[in-house]
Chain A
Amino acid sequence: MIIRGSSVSGDLKLRTQDLVIGSGPGGSTVAMLLAKAGRQVIVLEEGSFVPAEEMTQREGQMMGRLFSEGGTRTTEDKGVTILHGQVIGGTSVVNHLICFRTPDRLLELWAAEGIDDLDPAAMKLRFDRIWEILNVARIDESQLNRNNTLLMDGAKKLGWKGHPFDRNANSCLGSGFCTIGCAYNAKQSAALTMLPLAGQYGARVHADCRVTRILHDGSRVTGVEGVVLGADRRPKAKLFVEADRVIVAGGAILTPTLLLRSGVPDESKMIGQNLYLHPGSPVIGHFPGMNVDPTVGILQGYGISEFSWPLNGHPIDVLPEGVSGPPGVASVVVPGLGAAHRDGMRQINEAAIAGVLLRDHHPGHIELRDDGRPLVHYTLHPEDAERMREGSKKTIEAYFAAGASRCMTGHTVPTEVRSVTELNRLDSASYAPGSIALISYHQMGTARMGGDAKKHATNPDGRLWGLKNLYVADASLFPTASGVNPQISVYGMAMRVGERLAASS
């Protein structure tokens, strides 16, 4: 059962056994498992419930309704735009449906942090279950749009590994509006899968409820306080929930923000640290005379895995993926100003766009602003920047192999390459903040899990080392950046936490 803020009158005072904060992949999965185990479960979600009928496919309308801070969040140096959802179902409502089971290399790396039961065999059982609930299936090459087949053609000509993605869809129509919500219920987000299942088992999901503070006495949590938001997104009433256990799943930006705001004990000093943003940077290939029309079809359908460390052991550790979006988003990615930008936009139907997804090796951190919101400190480290440069060059090579006439990167000072022999033009291009477009779709690591209370914020059960009954179950748990699109890793890690919570109740 989802209860909208509009149906709450007066202050909201509740009591429950298990309280979950956040309704994305992490929170919804834990809520489902706990409710199924017979626990009393309440989920509090700051975002609203937005059904398919209200998805207008208009960016100007939907960005504000579906994204945290309307999609305007950036790092403190403004070098990276940070996108994450704020809606029932969390970021899974605005994501692009790519499903990667956490690669074995990564599982081994994470297990080495002292996390048990994370071996490929144990995780396979969880992933199989998630696959079924989310209706995940591999898309066929014939379903790819031109934007993605061009990247694939290039990779194939160069003999590089790559493949169409697995996606959590049910009869996807290929409308191309995934970033601003699916108007057809084709995207099998947490809002349409884990949450309704949790509801069937008795969980109550309160939309429009922002938790502002976790209440604790230094060793135990007693509940939370917060506000119920009105239609204008301003507080309209107070919220207080008493709970035996609290599970925070607000995503890797807002989970540590809430924990820091609540002053929870943290011997490791790792809450808010270890922030990986997995930045993506655009590469645009021009194919004059070809109708690429990147805005229509399955937006993100193919990736080159050749240069990925988790998938292929490659040291560049990047994953170029075909991706695009509606024109508002595209306009920011198309470089230049004035006539150059206008021409770029007018030629967008002849352009193929890829995002070079970087597994960042050097994290940033989050601290609290005076007003309690997050201040994200993250600057692309020179070593990460070099790998991004190499990844961009590889992507450009793929486009030239596919027949591009010229390629551009997302540099603020437009950087154009007209043939592979000109690739060295990228050598002098700056990756300093504000010199290159970097977008973070995937944030992770800010309450990392592990076996050492001095090094890890959460223990292998997902519990904060310093508190007896406070848990984390979202992308914050990742010990490192994932290097692949993370939603299935979030579902998987949360399932592991949820199973333990259910077993210990």
Chain B
Amino acid sequence: MSSPTRRNLLIGLATGFLAVVATQVRNVLPGDPAEGHQMLDAESIVIVRLLAECFIGPDHVLVDVPLEVDHTLAALPEVGELWKRLPKLIEAAPLLEGYFSGFTALSAEDKEKFLAGWAASERLEKRQIYNGLRALILSHFYFQPASWAAIQYAGPWVGRIDLPILSPRFPLEVQ
């Protein structure tokens, strides 16, 4: 290949890459909430679902993790506004780290490699986002009864074991 052609190709690739990155960066801004959701847009829902698959494994399908996360973010307006941006950030990030696609299009192996890279990263922000998303997704999966059989967790006693509520030692008047 002649050098101008190679240069053109490189410029073309670089321009294409930058265009993809620019699109991704624009997409970092959250869109309107998807139907039945109050915070997450349709794209973020897909990203959260794929993150759940990475963190939890195939069992993630037992719980609608994005919906559960959405409920929590909606109930915490101050923190929810910040958190709802994270899925899109994750989608854009692999492109900036030498992968050739956004998070959703990575192979299962690359998704795990990418996340493990963030867990071990020297950069504080990456560890922060990794830990934050991990905690949010794992806890919202294991909050739900559908996840409990696999870990042999019997669940709340309330509704299962009939036990009396003790009378308070000091009477309490409530209005």
Using a CB–CB distance below 8 Å, which chain A residues touch chain B? 1-4, 7, 49, 51-53, 55-60, 64, 69-70, 72, 74, 77-78, 81, 135, 170-171, 173, 175, 177, 183-186, 188, 191-193, 195-197, 199-200, 233, 295, 326-332, 337-339, 341-342, 345-346, 348-349, 371, 373, 412-413, 432-435
What's the least CB distance linking A185 to chain B, in Å?
4
| Residues on the B chain within 8 Å of A337, using CB | 54-55, 112, 115-116, 119, 134
* Of the residues B139, B148, B157, B171, contact of A196 by C-beta under 8 Å: B171
What is the number of contacts between chain A and chain B, taking CB atoms within 8 Å?
Answer: 163
| Residues on the A chain within 8 Å of B78, using CB | 69, 371, 373
Known A78-B128, A186-B166, A337-B134; 6 more pairs at CB < 8 Å: A57-B156, A70-B76, A200-B171, A332-B134, A342-B59, A345-B150
In B121-166, the 8 Å CB interface with A consists of: 124, 127-128, 130-132, 134-135, 138-144, 147-148, 150-153, 156-158, 163-166
- How far is it, in angstroms, between the C-alpha of A330 and the C-alpha of B142 when the chains are bound? 9
Question: Are B120 and A412 in contact, CB atoms less than 8 angstroms apart?
Answer: yes
Question: Are B134 and A177 in contact, CB atoms less than 8 angstroms apart?
Answer: no
Question: Are B138 and A341 in contact, CB atoms less than 8 angstroms apart?
Answer: yes
- How far is it, in angstroms, between the C-alpha of A5 and the C-alpha of B54 when the chains are bound? 43
Closest to B129 in A: A78
Question: Are A184 and B57 in contact, CB atoms less than 8 angstroms apart?
Answer: no
* Of the residues A81, A177, A338, A371, contact of B157 by C-beta under 8 Å: A177
- How far is it, in angstroms, between the C-alpha of A4 and the C-alpha of B173 when the chains are bound? 11
What's the least CB distance linking A286 to chain B, in Å?
15
The answer to whether residues A4 and B174 also contact, given A56-B158, A328-B143 and a CB cut-off of 8 A, is yes
- How far is it, in angstroms, between the C-alpha of A186 and the C-alpha of B153 when the chains are bound? 23
Question: Are B153 and A342 in contact, CB atoms less than 8 angstroms apart?
Answer: no
| Residues on the B chain within 8 Å of A175, using CB | 157
Using a CB–CB distance below 8 Å, which chain B residues touch chain A? 54-57, 59, 68, 72, 75-76, 78-79, 112, 115-116, 119-120, 124, 127-128, 130-132, 134-135, 138-144, 147-148, 150-153, 156-158, 163-175
| Residues on the B chain within 8 Å of A81, using CB | 135
| Residues on the B chain within 8 Å of A77, using CB | 124, 128
What's the least CB distance linking B164 to chain A, in Å?
7
The answer to whether residues A328 and B142 also contact, given A64-B72, A72-B76, A185-B165 and a CB cut-off of 8 A, is yes
| Residues on the A chain within 8 Å of B158, using CB | 55-57, 183
Question: Are B115 and A196 in contact, CB atoms less than 8 angstroms apart?
Answer: no
What's the least CB distance linking B165 to chain A, in Å?
5
Question: Are B139 and A328 in contact, CB atoms less than 8 angstroms apart?
Answer: yes
- How far is it, in angstroms, between the C-alpha of A176 and the C-alpha of B167 when the chains are bound? 20
What's the least CB distance linking B48 to chain A, in Å?
15
Question: Are A59 and B139 in contact, CB atoms less than 8 angstroms apart?
Answer: yes
| Residues on the A chain within 8 Å of B170, using CB | 192-193, 196-197, 200
Question: Are B76 and A188 in contact, CB atoms less than 8 angstroms apart?
Answer: no
| Residues on the B chain within 8 Å of A59, using CB | 139, 143
Subset of 23 A-B contacts with CB under 8 Å: A49-B174, A52-B165, A60-B68, A64-B75, A70-B79, A72-B76, A170-B169, A177-B156, A192-B169, A192-B170, A192-B172, A196-B168, A326-B153, A328-B138, A338-B54, A338-B55, A339-B57, A342-B56, A342-B59, A346-B150, A349-B152, A432-B127, A434-B127
What's the least CB distance linking A307 to chain B, in Å?
27
| Residues on the A chain within 8 Å of B142, using CB | 327-328, 330-331, 345
- How far is it, in angstroms, between the C-alpha of A195 and the C-alpha of B172 when the chains are bound? 8
The answer to whether residues A338 and B175 also contact, given A135-B169, A192-B168, A434-B131 and a CB cut-off of 8 A, is no
| Residues on the B chain within 8 Å of A60, using CB | 68, 72, 140, 143-144
The answer to whether residues A70 and B75 also contact, given A337-B119, A434-B131 and a CB cut-off of 8 A, is yes
What's the least CB distance linking B81 to chain A, in Å?
11
What's the least CB distance linking A340 to chain B, in Å?
10
What's the least CB distance linking B166 to chain A, in Å?
4
